[in-house]
């Protein structure tokens, strides 16, 4: 509590930090304070306020009632307001909010459901940390510092990725992952569901994708790609479980973006349906890491129909705006030798150019057909930056993960881009060079380097308008357990949130590190594993 008092004297320990904060004298006592809201509050919004009121009541031992929705004026006289007052305000940017705390009232204005959720997360961060548990706590001084906070996100895409193909994580761990994303105002969950090492999503038209493709006969040991532990491994999500996760995420203000990686990274699918490959197999679900040479055969119309069927089911299952089609790391050696692929190339009149090979243009053909299928379902296509190789159809969105060159090219050509460069955003990388770190990927990514990430660095103001936002990726080749997963995620997620939310002027490494000490205590209360930051 001494540290909290010190922090409040200088700044509020909020992560990600708001765009504008003005601290004034005095504080508001929330114990037993009534909650009121205007008549435009919807059922979902009301439920969130009721939950906050219940948590506050349980923690401080004095009931905070929430009144039935009553009509209040769009503006509230600060001298008349009492308790917590929540108002819809269409003049505030999407997902933003304004909080005004006086000695008598906390007035919150927000434009939409996500704005309300974000305001609640901020309120909780300036209350005693026990608010996160909803459990009775004695000896706590309940006060909220008087202040005015005006806030809205810098970017609309604030994502976090999870690879459940290399290692499978149960629904409850996925929900826990979503919970901590919501705490720090992330709004896109990129769910990597298929790869060479496992197919994790039920597809009714192709049941062998999960029956066969969902399980592998062992896993390589550490980074010895030629080894195999001999332990059968796998799992998949039923459509019912997927819907459960989607609904859970939506309640937290998070959109689930599924990834079906194609036409490479498909060895698990080929193990189930070998007829869709260039050679016809036999194939096995891969027990090693890396990039498998076996890929789908776009020369066969049956393969293209398979992809269209799968993406149609995925589009019908997920209510999101975007569907991710991967498109990365697709070897072309098989296509060069495959009669069907070469016949398709000839049929399409594809030629080698200075820019790309005819096989790269063949992948463009696959991407364009999938874009048409998704468009017919009201969805947008997004893929890794390799979809830029050759020609990309207008309307697609690019996720830039390498050195930024293809991302910059996409921006210059007018495509929207999500920035996720590995040097700042690959959370499978170790967090230091220490030998004490658990096994990680092929690099090092310390906390401060995540914090220093600026998604629009190097772009003009006009070009930056095409940067939708940023996300980090958590690949799981070397991350087999939930405990290890959380260790790699936290506290780098908190640093990422400031890169996604804050304007550059609102970021301050020393302020962030001081605030983080409070937030590590919150993670302790909620039962998360995390890496203790270096001093």
pLDDT tens-digit map of 227-239: 999 999 999 999 9
pLDDT band at 357 (very low <50, low <70, confident <90, very high): very high
Q: Could you tell me what percent of the chain has a pLDDT over 90?
A: 89
∠ CA(337), CA(343), CA(349), 5° rounding?
115
DSSP 66: B
- One-letter-per-residue 3-state SS of 352-408: CCCCCCHHHHHHHHHHHHHHHHHHHCCCEEEEEHHHHCCCCCCCCEEEECCCCHHHH
Buried b or exposed e, range 381-393, using 16+ CB within 10 angstroms: bbbbbbbbbbebb
Distance CA 485, CA 487 (A): 5
Among the listed residues 430, 423, 422, the one whose alpha carbon sits nearest the alpha carbon of residue 534: 430
> Is 224 a known active-site residue?
no
**pLDDT-derived band of residue 67, with 50, 70 and 90 as boundaries?**
low
**Residue 72 pLDDT > 60, yes or no?**
no
Q: What is the pLDDT of residues 238-295, one digit of tens each?
A: 999 999 999 999 999 999 999 999 999 999 999 999 999 999 999 999 999 999 999 9
pLDDT digits (tens, 9 = 90+) for 366-377: 999 999 999 999
User: What is the pLDDT at residue 69?
Assistant: 47
Q: How confident is the model at residue 11 (pLDDT cuts 50, 70, 90)?
A: confident
**Per annotation, catalytic residue among 89, 95, 151, 195:** 195
Among 161, 190, 265, 424, the active-site one is 265
Query: Does the pLDDT at position 535 exceed 80?
Result: no
Instruction: Name the phi and psi angles at 507, rounded to 5.
Output: -85, 140
Report the alpha-carbon distance of residue 428 to residue 65 in Å, rounded.
45
Average pLDDT over residues 470-485: 98
Above 90 in pLDDT, residue 79? no
Task: Say if CB 203 and CB 209 are below 8 A apart.
Answer: yes
In this structure, the number of other CB atoms found within 10 A of the CB of residue 225 comes to 12
Mean pLDDT within 435-443: 94
Question: Is the model's pLDDT at 77 over the cut of 70?
Answer: no
What integer best gives the mean pLDDT of the chain? 94
265 flagged as catalytic:
yes
pTM: 0.96
pLDDT at position 242, please? 98
What confidence score (pLDDT) does residue 110 get?
97
> Which pLDDT does position 190 carry in this prediction?
99
- Per-residue burial over 451-468, b if 16 or more Cβ lie within 10 Å, else e, is bebebbeebeeeeeebbb
pLDDT tens for residues 131-188? 998 888 777 889 999 999 999 999 999 999 999 999 999 999 999 999 999 999 999 9
- Expressed in angstroms, the distance from the first to the final Cα of the chain is 20
Structure tokens at 388: 């830029």
Does 355 have pLDDT greater than 90? yes
Summarised one tens digit per residue, pLDDT across range 115-146 is 999 999 999 999 999 999 888 877 788 999 99
Residue 3: the pLDDT is 44
pLDDT value at residue 65: 65
Distance CA 419, CA 441 (A): 20
- Summarised one tens digit per residue, pLDDT across range 306-352 is 999 999 999 999 999 999 999 999 999 999 999 999 999 999 999 99
What pLDDT is stored for residue 161 in this prediction? Answer: 98
Nearest alpha carbon to residue 252 among 209, 326, 188: 188
pLDDT, position 225: 97
Q: Looking at the predicted structure, is the pLDDT value of residue 75 above 70? A: no
Active-site residue, selected from the candidate residues 329, 340, 391, 463: 329
User: What are the tokens at 191?
Assistant: 């769910």
């Amino acid at each position: 509590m001494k540290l909290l008092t010190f922090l409040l004297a200088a700044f509020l320990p909020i992560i990600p930090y708001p765009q504008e904060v003005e601290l004034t004298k005095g504080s508001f006592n929330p114990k037993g304070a009534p909650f009121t809201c205007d008549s435009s509050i919807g059922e979902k919004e009301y439920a969130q306020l009721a939950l906050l009121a219940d948590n506050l009541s349980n923690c401080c031992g004095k009931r905070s009632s929430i009144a039935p929705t009553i009509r209040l004026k769009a503006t509230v006289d600060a001298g008349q307001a009492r308790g917590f007052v929540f108002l819809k305000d269409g003049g505030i940017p999407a997902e933003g909010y304004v909080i005004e705390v006086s000695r008598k009232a906390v007035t919150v204005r927000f434009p939409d459901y996500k704005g309300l959720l974000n305001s609640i997360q901020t309120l909780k961060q300036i209350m005693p940390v026990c608010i996160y548990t909803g459990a009775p706590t004695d000896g706590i001084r309940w006060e909220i510092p008087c202040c005015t906070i005006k806030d809205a996100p810098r970017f609309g895409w604030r994502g976090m990725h999870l690879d459940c193909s290399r290692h499978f994580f149960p629904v409850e761990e996925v929900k826990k992952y979503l919970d901590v994303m919501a705490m720090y105002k992330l709004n896109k969950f990129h769910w990597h569901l298929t790869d060479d090492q496992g197919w994790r999503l039920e597809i009714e038209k192709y049941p062998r994708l999960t029956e066969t493709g969902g399980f592998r006969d062992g896993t390589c040991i550490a980074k010895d790609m030629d080894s195999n532990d001999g332990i059968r491994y796998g799992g998949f999500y039923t459509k019912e479980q997927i819907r459960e996760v989607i609904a859970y995420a939506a309640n937290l203000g998070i959109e689930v973006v599924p990834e079906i990686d194609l036409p490479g990274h498909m060895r698990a699918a080929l193990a189930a349906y070998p007829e869709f490959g260039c050679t016809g197999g036999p194939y096995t679900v891969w027990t090693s890491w890396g990039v498998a040479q076996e890929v789908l055969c776009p020369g066969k119309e049956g393969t293209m129909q398979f992809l269209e069927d799968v993406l149609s089911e995925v589009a019908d299952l997920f209510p999101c705006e975007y569907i991710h089609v991967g498109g990365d790391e697709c070897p072309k050696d098989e296509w060069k030798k495959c009669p069907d692929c070469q016949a398709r190339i000839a049929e399409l009149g594809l030629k080698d150019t200075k820019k790309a090979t005819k096989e790269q243009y063949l992948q463009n053909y696959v991407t364009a057909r999938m874009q048409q299928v998704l468009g017919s379902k009201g969805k947008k296509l997004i893929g890794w930056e390799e979809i830029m190789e050759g020609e990309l159809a207008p309307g697609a969105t690019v996720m830039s993960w390498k050195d930024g060159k293809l991302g910059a090219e996409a921006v210059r050509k007018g495509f929207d881009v999500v920035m996720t460069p590995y040097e700042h955003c690959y959370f499978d990388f170790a967090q230091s060079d220490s030998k004490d770190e658990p096994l990680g990927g092929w690099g090092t990514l310390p906390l401060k380097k995540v914090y220093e990430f600026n998604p629009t660095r190097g772009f003009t103001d006009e070009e930056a308008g095409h940067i939708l936002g940023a996300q980090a990726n958590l690949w799981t080749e070397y991350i087999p357990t939930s405990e290890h997963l959380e260790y790699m995620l936290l506290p780098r997620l908190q640093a990422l949130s400031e890169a996604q939310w804050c304007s550059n002027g609102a970021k301050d490494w020393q302020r962030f590190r001081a605030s983080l000490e409070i937030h590590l205590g919150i993670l302790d209360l909620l039962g998360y594993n995390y890496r203790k930051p270096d001093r």
